[in-house]
Chains A and B, each alone.
Chain A
Amino acid sequence: MNWLEKLVILLVSLLLLAGGVGLFAFMLGWQGRPLFAWLLSLQDAQIEGAVLGAALLLGGLYLLAMFFKNGREVQAIVQETELGQVEVSLKAVANLVQRAAREIPGIRDLTPVIKVEPEGLDIRVVVQVVPERSIPALAAQVQSQIRDYLTETIGCPVHRVMVEVRDVRPEPKAKID
């Protein structure tokens, strides 16, 4: 989930929360004068009201689009055996990728994004590396380690491993020896 999705969910949740509290309080006998006064004041401030309405509309549409987009994505690798199917969730694959790559010295942090393509797994890893190491050599090591580890552990072909070096940061120093 990226920051935009998080922001939209946060704003829509806050609005729903406020609406729910307002409705609940209204049902319990609150007159809601400040709320009505604020809604009436929007009539005078047409631009602000229109912006608020448009923001709500766009937020709602974005959430709907997210829902349908997520529903279409393949969430697991499926293999057929004599006795049925073996399905490995992409979350489990992502955990394995993280573990395999973190064992490489020089990798500080790693976030995998995994897709299932007809040719095999399509993996993009966003990494943070430590300085004073050859980045191409490190990236090549990440690629081969992930490919070998997943082929061995899951038995599924890996089509591509893309490495995106997002940041170079030194390892945090231990405060005590």
Chain B
Amino acid sequence: MPETKERTELGELRIANEVVGVIAGLAATEVEGVAGMSGGLAGGIAEMLGRRNLSKGVKVEVGEEQAAIDLFVIVEYGVRIPDVAWKIQENVKRAIEGMTGLDVVEVNIHVQGVNFPQPEERVEEQPRVR
């Protein structure tokens, strides 16, 4: 598994790329206006098999000190996409830098779709016959 290494006084610290992906995924989905992540075919199959993939829709590239992130998101209908994208970029950068110490140089957002609210279901169903 690819990972990033850091030397401390007491030894080596290794952070797996998967961990950076999970941090980015969680930071992105907590932004208001994000309906979810778009994981493509592989992510969809993994979810069908009952495996919750927290780094779904996240592609990370991690070097010794820097990281670049690509996020594939679905936004809620009615939001201003540039505003939501900017909030995701900021939140993801802050979360990764705060938790891993890596310098995030790029957070690219790919808006893959828009989630429309489902029409409200009728509260009580009228019987068709009396």
Contact = CB atoms under 8 A, between A and B. Distances in A.
Interface of A: 76, 79, 81, 83-89, 91-92, 95-96, 99, 152-155
Interface in B36-89: 68-69, 75, 77, 79-82, 85-86, 89
Contacts of A85: 106, 108-109
A91 B112 CA distance: 7
B114 A84 contact: no
A152 B109 contact: no
Contacts, number: 65
B110 A84 contact: no
Contact of A86 (B69, B79, B82, B116): B82
A87 B110 contact: yes
Q: Is the interface of B mostly helix, strand, loop or mixed?
A: strand
A153 B81 contact: yes
Interface of B: 68-69, 75, 77, 79-82, 85-86, 89-90, 93, 104, 106-114, 116
A92 B112 contact: yes
Nearest to B84: A86
Contact of B114 (A76, A86, A92): A92
Contacts of B80: 152-153, 155
Contacts of B107: 83-84
Given A81-B89, A84-B89, A99-B77, A89 B109 contact: no
Given A95-B116, A99-B116, A88 B81 contact: yes
Complex A-B, nearest 8 residue pairs according to Cβ-Cβ distance, in ascending order: A83-B89, A84-B106, A86-B85, A155-B82, A88-B111, A84-B108, A85-B108, A87-B110
Given A84-B108, A85-B108, A91 B89 contact: no
A155 B79 CA distance: 11
Among B68, B85, B90, residue most surrounded by chain A Cβ atoms (within 10 Å): B85
